[in-house]
């Protein structure tokens, strides 16, 4: 019953998204829906337009064509203030962590709280809570340059969840990490999903990550959603293009 | 026939860059007066830009005054005009040499630093991260830096000029037995408001150019880590050129009014 209700109102709706860079047509009519509480994995090889798609989604890039609705709001109709307000509902984990080099871990985490009118005690409590969720309380006063790759990813994850977002977008969360750290990050993503109940959009080409975390997945090939379904449905496909991902 | 009217790519790129820089400057003025104001970051940048350039500006100013006096002394001695050294040195340094040399030092120190810092923030997606967290990165990173350089470079120039005059006084004290009191008495007698005001006003424009070009190059950095080096390098080249152009315009305008 709950699942059916969720299916009626997608929290993110993308329709016929197109984006080209000169003659390079990256997205050729990509469409997707993300429902409340689900983990949607979008898989595609490097350069297939996954990152371009999420940049269009959060307004970092303008699509050439298509509609994007987040929580029933068409982002192309929002002014800058409204878009910024909407962005506070979205946590974003960048591929390279994107921690601010000149700030400590504490300052990095406090940065998204600047607009939220939280007093310093409340802000500190949220920072500690987010760091506790990723198991990195001891790193609070360290600079990003003092952290390992896995620690950076975890701090970036803590920064993404600090405002209790309704949607978390992960851009290649396990890329560049060793297999053990990658597994830790995947486990952490699952724990966070359980704790925060946010909807997750995960962009990856890591099959293991998709297998563990996806409720549903979309294969992005040639700029369109080439295949859609559960991990089992897609991985058992006989299509050569699809099979290439799972070999 | 058609080829005669084709504009070479380099000239086209140059004009496109000028257009983009003008748009960037326009956006700066637009964002400058819109809320919220990033006071804390502005103060942090003022401290960073001002305080960390102090030593370099101080040493440059001191050597400038020292060398200028040592070099001009023998020539003036030939004409029996050694007593003119304080006035000659002070007018030269305050009106022209001080502002330009200190501004060029700041170009190397500050403009390249801003270019590299913002460039690396761009290629490591830190600017994007700021944007998706609901902060306006242009306001937070660019406006504060341009404003900080516009305010700090004039102060650094004043300080550099003062230290240069002290260096000059030291040479006169050691070589010509002129006391510091007598030297600075002659300096203040020689200097007029018409020397000080235009020279100070143009340093605000130097500071603005230093922050603007450094930020423009860094903020629009592309092509990964290679782009960061390029942003830093071209920021220095463009700003140095701009400092000389602003200086030329300032001298031209001053000549009309004074």
pLDDT digits (tens, 9 = 90+) for A67-89: 999 998 898 888 888 888 888 88
Shortest Cα–Cα distance, A96 to chain B (Å): 7
The whole-number pLDDT of residue B37 equals 86
Q: What's chain A look like in SS3?
A: CHHHHHHHCCCEEEEEEEEEECCEEEEEEEEEEECCCCEEEEECCCCCCHHHHHHHHCCCCCCCEEEEEECCEEHHHCCHHHHHHHHCCEEEECCCCCCCCCCCHHHHHHHHHHHHCCCHHHHHHHHHHHHHHCCCHHHCCCCHHHCCHHHHHHHHHHHHHCCCCCEEEEECCCCCCCHHHHHHHHHHHHHHHHHHCCEEEEEECCHHHHHHHCCEEEEEECCEEEEEECHHHHHCCCCHHHHHHHC
Contact call for A111 and B120, based on CB within 8 A? no
Give me the residue from A84, A96, A99 closest to B134, CB to CB: A84
* pTM, entire model: 0.87
The answer to whether the Cβ–Cβ distance between B125 and A85 falls below 8 Å is no
| Nearest CA-CA distance, residue B7 and chain A, Å | 22
Tell me the chain A residues in contact with residue B135 when contact means C-beta distances shorter than 8 Å: 84, 111-112, 114-115
Instruction: For chain B, give the percent of residues with pLDDT over 90.
Output: 67
Search chain B and give the residue with CA nearest A61: B128
Judged against a pLDDT cut of 70, whether residue A129 lies above it is answered with: yes
CA distances from A216 to A35, A40, A207, B113 (A): 10, 5, 13, 46
Q: Taking a C-beta distance cutoff of 8 angstroms, is the pair B141, B130 a contact?
A: yes
Do A88 and B126 make contact, defined as CB atoms within 8 angstroms?
A: no
Choose the closest CB to A87 out of B121, B124, B133: B133
Taking domain A36-49+79-217+224-246, whether its CATH number is 3.40.50.300 is answered by yes
- In the predicted model, what is the mean pLDDT of residues B149-155? 96
Contacts of B140 in chain A (CB under 8 A): none
What pLDDT is recorded for position A1?
37
**Pair of tokens at residue A152:** 């950076």
């Amino acid at each position: 019953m709950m699942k059916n209700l969720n299916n009626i109102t997608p929290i993110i709706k993308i329709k016929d998204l197109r984006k080209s860079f000169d003659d390079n047509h990256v997205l050729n009519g990509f469409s997707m829906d993300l429902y409340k509480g689900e983990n949607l994995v979008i898989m595609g090889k490097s350069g297939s337009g996954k990152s371009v798609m999420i940049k269009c989604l959060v307004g970092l890039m303008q699509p050439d064509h298509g509609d994007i609705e987040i929580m029933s709001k068409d982002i192309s109709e929002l002014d800058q203030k409204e878009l910024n307000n909407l962005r506070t509902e979205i946590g974003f984990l960048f591929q390279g962590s994107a921690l601010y080099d000149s700030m400590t871990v504490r300052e990095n985490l406090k940065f998204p709280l600047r607009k939220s009118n939280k007093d310093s005690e409340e802000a500190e409590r949220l920072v500690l809570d987010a760091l506790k969720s990723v198991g990195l309380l001891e790193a609070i006063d360290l600079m990003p340059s003092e952290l390992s790759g896995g620690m950076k990813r975890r701090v970036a994850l803590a920064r993404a969840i600090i405002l209790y977002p309704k949607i978390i977008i992960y851009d290649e969360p396990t890329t560049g990490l060793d297999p053990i750290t990658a597994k830790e990050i995947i486990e952490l993503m699952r724990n966070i999903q359980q704790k925060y109940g946010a909807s997750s959009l995960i962009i990856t080409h890591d099959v293991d990550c998709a297998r563990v975390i996806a409720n549903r997945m979309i294969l992005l090939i040639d700029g369109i959603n080439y295949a859609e379904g559960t991990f089992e449905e897609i991985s058992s496909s006989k299509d050569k293009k699809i099979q290439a991902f799972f070999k | 026939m058609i080829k005669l009217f084709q504009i070479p790519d380099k000239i086209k790129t140059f004009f496109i860059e000028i257009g983009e820089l003008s748009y960037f400057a326009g956006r700066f003025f637009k964002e400058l007066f819109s809320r919220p104001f990033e006071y804390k970051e502005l103060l942090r940048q003022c401290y960073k830009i001002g305080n960390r350039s102090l030593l370099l500006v101080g040493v440059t100013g001191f050597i400038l005054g020292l060398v200028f006096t040592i070099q001009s002394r023998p020539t003036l001695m030939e004409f029996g005009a050694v007593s003119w050294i304080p006035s000659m040195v002070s007018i030269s340094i305050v009106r022209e040499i001080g502002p330009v040399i200190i501004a060029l030092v700041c170009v190397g120190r500050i403009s390249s630093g801003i270019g590299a810092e913002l460039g690396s923030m761009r290629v490591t997606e830190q600017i994007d991260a700021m944007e998706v967290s609901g902060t306006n990165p242009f306001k937070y990173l660019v406006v504060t830096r341009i404003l900080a350089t516009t305010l700090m470079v004039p102060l650094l120039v004043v300080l550099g000029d003062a230290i240069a005059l002290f260096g000059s006084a030291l040479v006169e004290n050691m070589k010509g037995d002129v006391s510091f009191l007598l030297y600075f008495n002659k300096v203040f007698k020689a200097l007029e408001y018409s020397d000080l005001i235009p020279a100070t006003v143009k340093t605000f424009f130097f500071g603005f150019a230093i922050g603007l070009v450094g930020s423009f190059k860094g903020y629009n950095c592309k092509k990964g880590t290679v782009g960061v080096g390029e942003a830093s390098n071209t920021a220095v080249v463009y700003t140095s050129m701009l400092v000389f152009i602003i200086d030329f315009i300032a001298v031209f305008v001053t000549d009309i009014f004074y």
